[in-house]
Structure 1
Amino acid sequence: MTSKTQNQYLHEGTVNFVSWNVKGQNHELKRKKVLSHLTGLNAKVVFLQETHLLSKDQFRLRELYRIYIQTNQFLPRDKRSSEVSAGILWETLKAFLRGQMISYLSHRNKLEIKKVSKLKSEITRIDEEHARLPSKALHRKRQALHSELNLLTTKETEQLIYKSRHHYYEHGEKANKLLAQQIHKQEVHNAIPVITNTNGDKITDYKNIMHTFRDHYKSLYSTEFKEDNTQSNAFLDTLQLPQIDTFKLLDAIKSLQSGKSSGPDGYPVEFYKTFSTQLAPLLLATFTDARDNQILPQTFRQALITVFPKQNKDLLQCASYRPISLLNNDVKILSKILARRMEKVLPSIISQDQTGFIKGRHLSSNLRCLFNVIYSPEKSNTPEILLSLDAEKAFDMIEWNYLFTVLEKFGFGPNICAWIKLLYTNPEASVCINNICSDYFKLERGTRQGCPLSPLLFAIAIEPLAVHCRNSYQIKGIVREGLEQKISLYADDMVLYISDPENTAPAVLTALTEFQKISGLRINLNKSILFPVNSQAYNIRLDTLPLTIADQFKYLGVNITSKHNALYQQNVGVCIEKIKQDLHRWSTLHLTLAGRINIVKMNILPKLLFLFQNIPIYINKSFSKQLYSIITSFIWNSKHPRIRRATLQRPQAEGGMAFPNFQFYYWAANIQAIKTWTQINEHTQACSICAKHRIIQLKIIYRAHLSHLKLSKMFPGQDPTCERCNQAPASLGHMFWACTKLTSFWTKIFKCLSDSLGITIPPNPLTAVFGVLPDGLELEKDKQTVIAFTTLLVCRLILLNWKNPNSPLISQWETDVLYYLKLEKI
C-alpha cells in the first residue's frame, strides 16, 4: 500500500504513515525500539485525552487497525507461524496507534498554524495596499479576513467554553460527579513542596523529592525474606481449607468504568470499549501467549504510582501519603476477567465472619455481631475483651510465595493459579511526584492497589489467620446464646473476641507472630486497641499486653462505646454537627432549590442511612425536627419555605422533588433488620427449638461432617468407599441419601409422613436432607414444620450410625419422633 493511499485514511493532507511490520529477521530489534518508546521516563503523557478522536470521521482508527493487522498478517493461533508472538504484535500496535494519533494531532496543528500565518500575511498585504490606495472593497476584504482569523484562533477556546456551558447546563445541579466536585473541600494540592528523607533532612528539590518517594516505595515493596514455602506449608497443612471448581473466563471490557485515569501507556477505557470487537482477537491471543510463555508483555507489568495525602498526618513523611497504582487498561481487563470468575466462589470458601469484598455480604453483619457481644452480656465470671487490630500497610505487605501457596491450598486449579502468578511475575512501577516520573523499579510483594483482583486476593490471604483462630483450642472466644464468636474481618479491619485474656492473649500474639513470618502481614500493636467488654476484665492486669486500653474505638466508620446509651451522641450527634458545618460551607454556592435538594440526597442522606442501617439506636421526633430544621434552612437559602415539605417529598412523577423523608428511611432500615431476623428465625424454628438440633442442620448445610471421600482428599491412602454399600465413593450426598442401603429406609420414612399428613410426598433428597418441600407441593405452615423437624431427626439418626455398616432402624426414628415432638411443642 502506498503512502499516499494510506494517508487518505487519516485526513485530507500529507502525513507520513509508517508501515509497522514487525515480521522478519529484525523483529526483535524493532520490538526493543517500540518498547523503549512505550516505557520511557515520559510514559505518563496521556496522548488520548481527546477521546473525541475515537469517533472522528477524518481520523479512522478502525481503518488504521485493519491496515496494521493486514500488514502483519495476524491470524488465529493455530494458523499463524510462531515467528512473532501476539504480545509483540499487541505492544507494537499500541506504539503504532500512538504514533498515528500524535501524527494526526501534529498535522492538524500545523495546518492551522499555516492557515493563520497565511491569513496574517494576506491582512498585512491588504493593509499596505489600502495605505497606498484606500478603497471600500479592500476594507471589506480586510474585515472578512480579520473575522476569519479571529474565528480560527478562538475556535478551540469557544468550543471548550460551549462544551463547559452545555455540560453545566445539563448536569450542573443533578446528583452526579459535577455537583460532587463543587461541594467537596479543596484541601489538597498536587504539588509536594517538601519531604523528609530517611536521614531526617528536608528535601525541597522536585527531582530529589521524587527520588525520595521512589526509594521509599522500592523499600516498601521489597520482600523481607526469601520464602521457600516449607514454613507456609507447615502452617497451612493443619487447616481444612475447602476445595472449589474451575470456571470459564468471562469477557470484562464492558464492566470497566469509563472516565478513569489511564495507565502509563495512555490508552483510556473508552478506547477499549469503542473498539472492543476489533481488539478482542489480538488481545485474547496476547493473554494466551503470555500464559504459555509465563511472562506478560512489558507494558502489562508496568504501573504508575501517584500519591494522595492522608488526613491528619505529617505531610513531611513519605508514609503519610496513600499510593495509588495506575495500571494499563489491557492488564486491568485480564484482572477483571479473573476477579469476576473468583468472586462467584469466594462466598463458598471464605467464612461468614469475613465480609469485605465478598459478594452478597455487608459490613452490617460485623457491626451487629459486635453490638450483640458488647451489649448482651452473659452472667459469667470470665473476663472478656475485644482486640481491634491495626494491620500495617496490609495490602502492600503480603508475600507472593505465601499468596500462591494459599491459593493452591484453597483448591484453586492450576489454570487460574497460573494466571495470577503471571500477573505477579516481574512487575515494576514508576513513581510520579510533581509531574516528574522516576525510572522503573521491581516490585517483590504486595497486592497492587488499583487492580480489580487485589481485594479478592487479600481476602484469601487473610482467611488462614481466621481459620487458625477459629480452630485453635488455645484461643477462647466470647460465647453468646450458646454460639462462640472469635473473629470478624472486613479487609484489613480485624476484631478478635477473647475470653480469659490472661491465657488466650499470649496464644493470639503467638499466632499473629507466626502468621507474620509466613505472610509478611505485620500487626501494629502500638496502634491496636484493647477494649474491655465486662467488668471482670478490669480486675486483671491488662497493661502487661503491648496494646492501648480504651473504652471507645472506631470500627468500620462507627464509634464503638462501652455503654449503649452513648452510641447516639458519639455517632448521630457527631454526624449532625458535621452536617451543620458542611451545609454552612455549601450555603455560599449559587444553586437553585433543585441543586440543594440533590446535595442533600447525594451527601447527607447516605451518611445518615449508613448509621440507620448499622447502629441499633432509637431515633425520636426531636431528632427529626432538628434535622429538618437544619436542612430546610439550607435548601431555602435561609428564607421562609414556599412549598410544604410533604409536597417536596412526593415523587417527581406526582409533582414533587423526591426530597428525602428521613423518618421513612429510618423505618425501612429497621424493617429490613427485622425482616432478615424473621427469615432466619423462621428457618431456625422450622428445624428445631433445640440448639443441638440447630447445629446438626447448620453442619449439614455447610458440609462440616467428614465423609470417607473428604478424608481421602485430606489424607492420601484413605479409602473413599462407603462402608455401608462398599460400592460408591462416600460423599456427603451419598451418606445422607444416595446409598443403596438407605433406599428402603427413606422409602418407609416418606410413606409414614405421607400417611400421617394425608398427602403424597414423593421421596426426594431436598426434603430428606433439608426439610424443604419440592416445587408444586404446598402445605400449611404447621405441616411444613412437622416435615422439617422429622426429617432432621432422620439425619440425626444417620449421623449416630455414621460408621455403622447397616442402615438405621425405622423403629428408632419413630421412638425419637414421639419423644421430641412433645418437647418441640409441635
Structure 2
Amino acid sequence: MLASQLRGFQAKEHITKIRMANGNITSEPSKINDKFRAFYSQLYASEFPQESTLMDNFLKTLNVPMLSSDSKNRLDEPIRPEELGAAIASLQPGKSPGPDGFPVEFFKAFSPLLLPQLHLTLSDSWKCGKLPPSFYEASIALVPKKGKDPVECSSYRPISLLNVDAKILAKVLARRLENILPSVISEDQTGFIKNRYSYSNIRRLLDILYTPSSQSPECILSLDAEKAFDWVEWKYLFTVLDKFNFGSKFISWIRLLYMCPNASVFTNSIQSQPFNFQRGTRQGCPLSPLLFNLAIEPLAIALRSCGEINGIWRKGVEHKVSLYADDLLIFISNPKISLPAMLSILRQFGQFSGYKLNLYKSELFPVDGGAPVFDYTTLPFKIAGNQFTYLGVIITRKHNCLFKANLLPLLNNTKKHLAQWSPLSTSLVGRINSIKMNILPKFLYLFQLLPVFIPKSFFDSLDSIISSYIWRGKRPQLDKAQLQKPKSRGGLALSNFRYYYWAANMRYIISWLYFHNKGNCPSWVLMELNSATGSSVLALIGSSLPLPPNKTIDNPVVWHTVRVWAQMRKHFGLTGFSLLSPIFSNPFFQPSLSDPIFRDWHDRGITCFNDLFFDNTFASFAQLSEKFNLPRTHLFRYLQTRQFLQSQIPNFPVAPDASPGDMLLTLIPTRKGFISLIYDRLVSMNGSSIDRIKTAWEQDLNQSLSMDTWDLILKLVNSTSLCARHCLLQFKVVHRFHLSKVKLSRMYPNVDPICDKCGSAEASLIHMFWTCPSLEGFWTDIFQTLSLIIGHHMDPDPLVALFGTTGEADARLTSSQRCMLSFASLVARHAILLRWRGAPLPTQAQWLRGLMYYLSLEKIRYAISNNSGKFYKVWGQFLKYFSSLQVANPASSITQ
C-alpha cells in the first residue's frame, strides 16, 4: 500500500489503439490483441541459418574452457526431493502467478504434500522425454515504455509470467549451475555470476579511464544489443553447452524445458491463442540469465583472443572486454587496426547466435590521452563527448565531474520527490520506510560505484531534506540519532546515508587487503594496488591521521577511496597507527622503501607489523627466526622495525587492542550482505546513546533500571506487535515523545499544569500514564484480568504498564505469556493516549474491546505469514477467558 501511494499511479492496463501492419490505427480490442500476438510470434521466430557451417567454424577456433569431470558429474546427478524443497524455499513470494493461477505461496504452504508428487512427475517426464504442458505455458502482460509512442507494439515491455512448477525445475538446475559457472566464465563477465558484482565493471572502467594513458589513441566502446535475451538461438545455445563440456543429462533437462514453450498475450482482458517460441531465453525463468552468460562467453573469448584487436594497457595488464549481462564494453587502442577486426567478429557472431548490435545506439568514447586524435567520425557509432552512461552511471571524462553529474542531480530529484510525497497521509514510520524503500537504494547504488570524496555538507543537505519530509515541514520533535538507532535498540532504523556511504567504500579498502597476496586478484584491485609510485597503497590504510599530501598515487579513484577511509576514521576517533600496516614499501617506515631485505620478509610471510607480535607481545628476534627462518644478518632490520614501533605504540612491547577499524579490515569483502554488515558495525560504533531517556524514567519511577531490563524495554519497542503503528506508539512512549501538561506549561505559561482527570496534582508524564489516582481503578482491573489469564497473581507494576515487561518477574512467565502481556499493556497505553487530554477516563471494557479489535488484525497478519499456530499459542489463554465473559460483542471471529 505504501509503495502504491508513493508511485502515485498504476501502470496503464488498457491499450486504446495500436498501429496495424498496413499503417492504419485500430481501436478494436480483438484486433489489438491479434496484432500483439503476431508481433511477438514474429519476434521469437528463429532466424538461424540453414547451414551451421559459420557457427562451427567460429567456435572451433576458440579455446573454450572445459568443465571438469567432477563438475560435469555433479550437474548430471538425478534431481533429489530435497533440491526441489530448497528451490521452493528460495522462490520469492508476492509474485504474480502463471496461467495456472497457482502462486509461490501455494507451493510453500503445501510443500510437504506437493514435493513427492512433483518429484514423481519429473521422474516420469525424464523417462518419457517431455514435461507436462503446464511447464511450457506462459502469459505475457504488457507495460508501456516511458516516452514511447503508445500506438507501436514495440513501445510496450512484455512481462512473461511462468507457472511455478516450471520455475521450480529451472531453479534446481540454476542452483547447480551457479556453483559451476565461475570455473568456465572469465572474470571479465560479472552479471548473475556468484560472488561477482557490477561494481567490478564500473571500478575497472574508472581505473582505466583515470589512470595515465599511453601515447597511442585509445577508446572505450559501449555496445547496445537488440533483444539480447529474446533472440538467443537455441541451436547455438545447445552447441555452446556441448562445447563447454556439459554433460548429456544436464543438457537434456534444459532441452526438456525448451522443447515447446508457448505463450498467450493479454491485452484489454483478452487472451490470445498461444504461439510457440523458437528462440530466446525464457523471461522470468531462474535459469535464463545463466544460460545467457554461457551464450555470450564465446564472443568474449573471440574478442580477447584476436591478435588484431589491441586492448588498453594499464599497470602491466591488457584490458579488452567487460560484460555485465548484455552490457558490453570493449577497450581499444590503435583503433585503425583494432576496430575493423572487432566489427568483423561481431558480424560473424551475430549471423548465427541471435546477438544483433544496434550500432547507432552504441557509443564510442575516445580516451583523452596525449596521442594524436583519431578520426572516429567515419565509424558507425555515436561518438560520446565528455560523458556516457554505463550501468546507470554517468561516466565523465574527468574524475572531478562524477559528483556533479551523478549525485547532485539525485539530490535535487530526491527533494522534488519528497515534496510530491509530503501531502500523503503516512505516519512517521511510513515515511521512514519510504526513505528506505525508494530513496536509499538510489543513493546506495551510486555510493557503491562512484569513488568520490563527498563532504559532510552534502549529507547535511540530504538530512535536512529528509527531516523536512518525515516531520512534515515542522521542527523535529526527536533527535535524528534516536530515529537512526536500530530497531533492536529501540530506534526506527532511519537510514544514516553517511554511514552507508562509508560502508559502500569500505568494500574497496578491504578488497585491497584481502586480495593483495592472492593469486586470483581481480584486475581492478591489481591496478589500484600498483597505483602508488615506489610505495604501498596499503600503508595509507594503517597510517596515523592526518594523511600526508598525495605525492605518490597517480589514480584519483584510489586517492579518493583513501580519503573516504580517513574521513570515516576521523569521525569515529580512529586516528592512530594500525598494526595491519604493511612493512615492505611503507613510506612511513623509511628503511622499507630502499632495503630489499624487507621484501624478503614479505616473501617469508612477514607482511604486516602485526605478524611481529606473538600473544600480543612483540616477538624476540629468536622467535621470529624460528618461525620465519630469518638469518642472523637480518638482526639490524629487526632493530629498525622495533624502534619504529616504539615510536608508534604507547605501551610497546605490548600490542594495542584491535580497534573497531582494524576489525572491519579483517572482514571478507565478497561475503553476502557485506555493506549491511559494515553499516551495522558502524551504527554500533556510534557514540550517541539514549542514557538521558533512561535516567529520566528512573527518576520518574524512583527506581534503577538494570541494563538487561533497559535492553529488553528497547527491544520491545519494535517486537511487541507486527503493526507499524503500534511500534510507533511504543517508540513515542519510551522516548518520552508525548507532551504532558507540565511540559506544555513550560512552553506556554498560560497552560495550567494541574491534571484534568484528578484535579489535584501536576500532570507530569509519569502521572498521566501511571500515578494519577483516577487511573488506579483502570490499572487494577487490567492487572486482575491479566492475573486470571496467566494463572498467578500480578500486582500492578509500572514496568508492565509503561513498557510491557515485568523485569525480574519475567522468569515466572512463558515466552508466549510475555508476548501476550506486552501486547495487552500496549493496548492499555493506547487507551490512555486516546483520552490524553480532558476528563474522560479509560475503562476495562474499552481496553478489552480495543484488544479484541487489534487481535483481529494480528490474527490476519500471523495467517499471512503462515504462522497461525503461534497466534493461538500466544493468545489461547486470553481468548478462552474472553469467550467466557458475557459481553455484547462476542469474539466468535477470533476464537473460532
Q: 1:559 corresponds to which residue?
A: 394
Q: Which amino acid aligns with 2:603?
A: T
User: Which residue pairs with 2:712 in the alignment?
Assistant: none
**Secondary structure, counterpart of 2:389 in structure 1:** strand
Alpha-carbon distance in structure 1 between the residues aligned to 2:241 and 2:210? 38
Q: Does 1:235 align with 2:58?
A: yes
Contact 2:142-2:157 at 8 Å conserved across structures: yes
Contact 1:384 1:536 in 2 (8 A): no
CA-CA distance at 1:784 after TM superposition? 6.9
What percent of counterpart residues are identical? 48
The question of 1:204 aligning with 2:22 is answered no
Task: Indicate how the Cα distance of structure 1 residues 782 and 186 shifts in structure 2: closer, same or farther if over 3 A, else same.
Answer: farther
Structure 1 residue 502 corresponds to structure 2 residue 336 = yes
CA contact (8 A) 1:214 1:431 kept: yes
- CA drift of 1:257 comes to 1.9
1:314 aligns with 2:149: yes
Which residue does 1:645 correspond to in 2? 480
Are 1:786 and 2:604 an aligned pair? yes
SS in structure 2 of the partner of residue 531 of structure 1: strand
2:345 is the alignment partner of 1:511 = yes
Contact 1:382 1:500 in 2 (8 A): yes
Distance 1:343 1:488 in 2: 20
Distance in 2 of aligned mates of 1:538 and 1:318: 46
Q: Report the residue type matching 1:785 in the other structure.
A: D
Q: Corresponding residue for 2:40?
A: 217
Equivalent of residue 442 in structure 2, options 582, 607, 610: 607
Structure 1 685/200 Cα, relative in aligned 2: closer, same or farther at 3 Å? closer
Deviation, structure 1 residue 562:
0.9
Task: Return the alpha-carbon distance in structure 2 between the equivalents of residues 191 and 368 of structure 1.
Answer: 43
Residue type of the partner of 1:190?
Answer: E
Q: 2:424 — aligned with what?
A: 589
Q: State the partner residue of 1:293.
A: 128
**Which residue identity does 2:54 align to in structure 1?**
Q
Tell me, what secondary structure is at the counterpart of 1:295? Answer: coil
1:225, distance to aligned residue in structure 2 (A) = 2.8
Q: Aligned partners of 2:34 and 2:303: how far apart in 1?
A: 42
Q: Give distance in 1, aligned partners of 2:402 and 2:14.
A: 40
In structure 1, C-alpha distance between the alignment counterparts of 2:139 and 2:152, rounded to whole Å: 20
In structure 2, the CA distance between the partners of 1:444 and 1:198, relative to structure 1 (3 Å rule), is same
CA shift digits 1:526-547 (9 cap, x unpaired): 1000111124677221011100
**What is the rounded CA distance, in whole Å, between the counterparts of 2:599 and 2:7 in structure 1?**
54
SS at match of 2:230: helix
Residue correspondence of structure 1 range 32-181 to structure 2 within 5 A:
178-181=1-4
Residue identity opposite 1:408 in structure 2: D
Q: In 2 relative to 1, CA 185–492 (structure 1 residues): closer, same or farther, beyond 3 Å?
A: farther
- In the alignment, what sits opposite 2:239? 405
CA distance in 2, matches of 1:430, 1:197: 19
Whether the aligned pair in 1 keeps the contact of 2:12 and 2:144 (CA below 8 Å) is no
Name the structure 1 match of 2:163. Answer: 328
What's 1:277 paired with?
112
Distance in 1 between the 2:388 and 2:440 partners?
A: 24
Match of 1:476 in 2: 310
Distance 1:412 1:788 in 2: 43
Amino acid in structure 1 at the alignment position of 2:377: D
SS of structure 1 residue aligned to 2:329: strand
Which structure would you say has the larger RCO, counting Cα contacts within 8 Å and 6 or more residues apart?
Answer: 1
1:705 corresponding residue in structure 2: none
Contact 1:377 1:534 (C-alpha < 8 Å) held by counterparts: no
- Tell me how far apart the structure 1 counterparts of residues 154 and 462 of structure 2 sit (CA, whole Å): 39
Match of 2:492 among 652, 657, 660: 657
Q: Distance in 1 between matches of 2:209 and 2:47?
A: 39
What letter matches 2:252 in structure 1? A
Q: Distance in 2 between matches of 1:285 and 1:658?
A: 47
Match of 2:270 among 423, 429, 436: 436
450-459 or 219-228, which moves further after superposition?
219-228
Deviations 1:547-577 (A, max 9, x none): 0001221111101111111111110011111
Amino acid aligned to 1:235: F
1:728-755 C-alpha deviation (Å, 9 max, x unpaired): xxxxxxxxxxxxxxxxxxxxxxxxxxxx
CA contact (8 A) 1:385 1:537 kept: no
How far did 1:227 drift? 4.9
* Superposition map of 1:802-813 within 5 A: none
Q: Work out whether residues 303 and 428 of structure 1, in 8 Å CA contact, stay in contact via their aligned partners in 2.
A: yes
SS at 1:326's partner residue? strand
- State the Cα deviation string for residues 337-390 of structure 1 (Å, max 9, x = none): 111111111111111111100011110000000001111122x22100011000
Which has the larger displacement, 429-438 or 185-194? 185-194
Give, in whole Å, the separation in 1 of the partners of 2:113 and 2:427.
46
Shift of 1:783: 5.9
CA distance in 2, matches of 1:377, 1:187: 49
Change (3 A) 1:785 1:651: same
The answer for the alignment partner of 1:733 in structure 2 is: none
Q: Which has the larger displacement, 327-336 or 245-254?
A: 245-254
Aligned AA for 1:550? Answer: A
CA distance in 2, matches of 1:429, 1:462: 25
Residues in 1 aligned to 2:361 and 2:369: alpha-carbon distance in whole angstroms = 24
Q: Distance in 2 between matches of 1:356 and 1:206?
A: 39
**Matching of residues 594-743 of structure 1 within 5 Å:** 594-683=429-518
The secondary structure found in structure 1 opposite 2:285 is: coil
Q: Is the deviation greater in 210-219 or in 323-332?
A: 323-332
1:120 aligned partner: none
Of 262, 267, 278, 2:97 maps to: 262
The one-letter code matched in structure 1 to 2:476 is: P
Which of the numbers 197, 204, 207 marks the counterpart of 1:372? 207
1:744-799: CA deviations, max 9, x gaps?
A: xxxxxxxxxxxxxxxxxxxxxxxxxxxxxxxxxxxx9976732699xxxxxxxxxx
Cα offset, 1:648, TM superposition: 2.2
Which stretches of structure 1, 4 residues or longer, exceed 3 Å deviation after superposition?
226-230, 535-538, 652-655, 682-686, 780-784
For the 8 Å contact 2:215–2:371, the answer to whether it is kept is no
Q: Does the 8 A contact of 2:49 with 2:352 survive in 1?
A: no
Q: What SS is found at the alignment partner of 2:224?
A: strand
* Aligned residue in 2 for 1:726: none
Q: Please say if residues 260 and 277 of structure 2, whose CA atoms lie closer than 8 Å, have aligned partners that are also in contact.
A: yes
Unaligned runs of 5+ in 2: 531-597, 608-632, 642-896
Asked if 2 retains the 8 angstrom alpha-carbon contact of 1:302 and 1:429, the reply is yes
Quickly say closer, same or farther: Cα 1:427–1:787, change in 2 above 3 A. same
Q: Does the Cα contact within 8 Å between 1:263 and 1:304 map onto a contact in 2?
A: yes
Opposite residue 305 of structure 1, the aligned amino acid is: I
Query: Corresponding residue for 2:619?
Result: none
2: CA distance, partners of 1:683 / 1:342: 25
1:419 aligns with 2:419: no
For residues 670 and 279 of structure 1, what CA distance do their matches in structure 2 show? 45
Counterpart of 2:96 in 1: which secondary structure?
Answer: coil
TM-score scaled by length of structure 1 = 0.61
Q: Is the 8 A contact 1:478 1:497 kept in 2?
A: yes
The residue matched to 1:344 in structure 2 has which SS?
helix
Task: Give the Cα separation in 1 of the matches to 2:124 and 2:518.
Answer: 51
Amino acid at match of 2:114: L
The CA deviation at 1:332 is: 1.2
Q: Which amino acid aligns with 1:429?
A: A
Contact 2:422 2:472 in 1 (8 A): yes
Map Cα deviations across residues 224-267 of structure 1 (whole Å, 9 max, x no partner): 13455433222112222222223244222222222221111222
